[in-house]
Copies of this chain bind each other. A is one copy, B any other.
Amino acid sequence: MRNFSFVNPTRIIFGRDTIKRLGQEASADGIKRALLVYGQGSVFRNGVYEQVVASLSASGVEFVELPGVQPNPVLSKVHDGIALAREHHAQAIIAVGGGSVFDSSKIIAAGYHHSGDVWDFFSGAARIKQALPVYGVLTISGTGSEMNLNAVLTREEDRTKWGIGSKYLYPRLSIIDPAVQATLPARNTAEGAADMITHILEVYCDGSTGVEVMREYMEGLIRAIIAQTALVLQNADDYQARSQLAWAGTLAFNGSTSPGTKGGDWATHGMEHSLSAFYPVAHGAGLAVLLPVWMRYVCAQDPASFSRLAEKVFAIAEGQDEQRSLAGIESLQACFASWGLPVRLRDLGVTERDLPRMAENAVIKGPLGVLQKLGFEDVLKIYRQAW
C-alpha cells in the first residue's frame, strides 16, 4: 500500500421517509436562509420537491429556488445560482437531485465567497478556500457526489467539461431515500450503475500493487452492483435491491476504494467528459461504451489485475491471463448491454468526423490516465474503436 490520508466528513442519513429530516438538520446547524437547487422536474413527479419544501417550511428555513439544472451541468447556471444565493444572503445550498444538481450546488457554494469567476477553480487560476455548507437530497444514485469532494462542470462556450476536487466540497449532510428512485426510468438506473462500476474500475485498474484488501472490497462492490441492478431492473419497486444499489453507489466513489492505491486512472472519465461536452449524452451511457474499449486498449499493461477481475467478478477461471482479461471485459460489456445501455458511440448519435475534435478536447490539459498515459493518438484510437 502507498501512504495515504483519508477523511470523509459528510454525514449520511439513509432510508425510507428520511427526507423529512432535512429541515430540522439544517435548522439545528443554524441555517435560516438557503438556495434550493434542483433539476428539470423529476422532483415534482417523484414527490421529493413536496417533501423537501414541507420539511424546510416546518423548520423555518426560508429558501429561494434555482430550478432547471440540466444533466452535464453548465457554468452559466452556476453563475445564476451564485447571483441568487448572494442576493438572498443564503447560508447554505440545498441540492435536491442527482449528480448534476449536487455538482452545481457544490460550485455555487464555493463560488459564493469567490470574487472572480468560478471557472478559475477548474482552470487552476484559483483555489477553493471556503464554501457554504451543502445539504443534499439524492434522487438518483450513480455519481457519488452525495459523499465526495468532486464536482464536474461544462463551460458551454468552448465545450470544456472539467472536474475538480476540494475538501471544502464535501456535502455537510446528504439524505438518501432509495424509495424515491423507484420512479426512475430503467435506463437512468442502468446509467447510474454503469457510473458506479466505472468509478470502481478506474481505481481497480490503475496499476497499484499490494492492495489486496482494496481489491477484495472493490470486487465485492462490483458483484453486488451487478446483482442488485439486475433485481431493480426486473422490479423497480424492489426496495431492498434499490437501497443496496444506492449505498453501493455511494461507496463506489466516496474515497473508500482509494486508500493505498495510486488514486485511480481516470482516463475513461476524461474521455467521457469530452464526449458529453460535445453531445447531450448521459454520463453513465458514455462510460458504458468507453470503459470496455479502454480496458481492452490498456489491459496488457497489467494482465494480473485484469485477469483477477475476470475471475473474481465474472467467474472466468480458465485460460491464461490475457484470454481471461479479454473474456472478463467481454462479460462486462455484455452486462452493460443486458441493462439496455449502448455499446457503440454511434448508438449515442456521435458522428465519426467529430472524433478528432473530441480527442483533442480530451487531452487539452495533457495526456490522460495512470496505468497507461494516453495522448491524442491513443484517445482517438479508443474513440474509433468505440465508434
- Taking Cβ atoms with an 8 Å cutoff, the residues of A that contact B are 1-16, 18, 178, 209-213, 216-217, 219-221, 223-224, 227-228, 240, 243-244, 247-248, 251, 256, 259-260
Further pairs besides A4-B15, A213-B244, A217-B217: 11, Cβ < 8 Å? A1-B14, A1-B240, A5-B11, A7-B9, A212-B224, A213-B224, A213-B248, A217-B221, A219-B220, A244-B260, A247-B260
Copies of this subunit: 2
Whole-angstrom CA separation of A9 from B9 in the bound complex:
5
B210 touches A1 (CB 8 A): no
Contact check, A1 vs B247: say whether CB atoms are below 8 A apart.
yes
Q: Lowest 3 CB-CB distances: which A-B pairs, in order?
A: A3-B15, A216-B220, A7-B11
B243 engages A210 (CB within 8 Å):
yes
A-B residue pairs in contact (CB < 8 Å), sample of 21: A1-B178, A3-B14, A3-B15, A3-B16, A4-B12, A4-B14, A4-B15, A5-B11, A5-B14, A6-B11, A7-B9, A210-B240, A210-B244, A212-B224, A212-B227, A213-B220, A213-B224, A213-B244, A219-B220, A243-B260, A244-B260
Q: How far is the CA of A315 from the CA of B219 in the complex (A)?
A: 17
**The one of B13, B219, B221 that contacts A5, using a Cβ cutoff of 8 Å:** B13
B-chain residues with CB within 8 Å of residue A212 when the two chains form the complex: 224, 227-228, 244
Q: Are the CB atoms of A223 and B216 closer together than 8 Å?
A: yes
Instruction: List the B side residues contacting A228 at CB < 8 Å.
Output: 212-213
Name the residue on B nearest A312 (C-beta): B220
Q: In the complex, what's the smallest C-beta–C-beta distance from A223 to chain B, in angstroms?
A: 6
What B residues does A260 contact at CB under 8 A? 14, 243-244, 247
- Contact call B10/A247, Cβ cutoff below 8 A: no
Name the residue of chain B whose CB is nearest to the CB of A216. Answer: B220
- Chain B residues with CB below 8 A from A8, complex form: 8
Please report the C-alpha to C-alpha distance between residue A149 and residue B123 in the assembled complex, in whole angstroms. Answer: 40
A247-B14 CB under 8 A given contacts A219-B220, A220-B220: no
Please report the C-alpha to C-alpha distance between residue A15 and residue B13 in the assembled complex, in whole angstroms: 31
Q: Which residues of B contact A18 (CB under 8 A)?
A: 3
Contacts of A2 in B (CB 8 A): 15
Q: Which residues of B contact A12 (CB under 8 A)?
A: 4-7
Q: How far is the CA of A14 from the CA of B227 in the complex (A)?
A: 33
Chain B residues within an 8 Å CB radius of A211: 244
Q: Which residue of B lies closest to A6 (CB)?
A: B12
Q: How far is the CA of A127 from the CA of B259 in the complex (A)?
A: 34
Shortest CB-to-CB span from A365 to chain B, Å, is 28
Known: A216-B223, A224-B213, A244-B211. A14 touches B7 (CB 8 A): no
